[in-house]
Amino acid sequence: MREQPDGAALLAIAREVLRKALLPLLPPERAYEVLMIANAMSIAERQLKNGEQAEREECDALQEFLGHEGDLAALNRDLGIKIRTGEMDNNTDAQRLLRRGVVQRVRESAPKALLPYGMA
């Protein structure tokens, strides 16, 4: 069993200290960098909380769609080639697959952006 707090909680605590205690002490021209670091910590926290499930689901969906096995990077490369050659033009299954992948990435990187669409 892991010690508490876990990695995600530690990132959240560190992010809050960075934003609330350290940011006010730094010169204003450093604020952007500190906020970028805090945002990166938020993304890492969400990824830790979500685990590998999203990547496994994406890999499974790509394998089913493309009809062959492979790792996630290779499958995405193969899909990219098909898109560039026009093979996926007007393919609603490909559009649905890509949309699902984009929504998942936004859930990790900027979940507030999905609120107006009821997808957060």
For the stretch 31-86, pLDDT in tens is 999 999 999 999 999 999 888 998 999 999 999 999 999 999 999 999 999 999 99
Cβ atoms 63, 75 nearer than 8 A = yes
- State how far the Cα of 110 lies from the Cα of 43, in Å rounded to an integer: 8
Looking up tokens 């021209």 gives 29
Region for residue 67 given its phi and psi (left: phi exceeds 0; alpha: psi -120 to 50; beta: otherwise): left
Report the predicted TM-score, pTM, of the whole model to 2 decimal places.
0.76
Question: Domain-by-domain residue ranges, the chain?
Answer: 7-50, 53-117
Are 34 and 22 spatial neighbours (Cβ–Cβ below 8 Å)?
yes
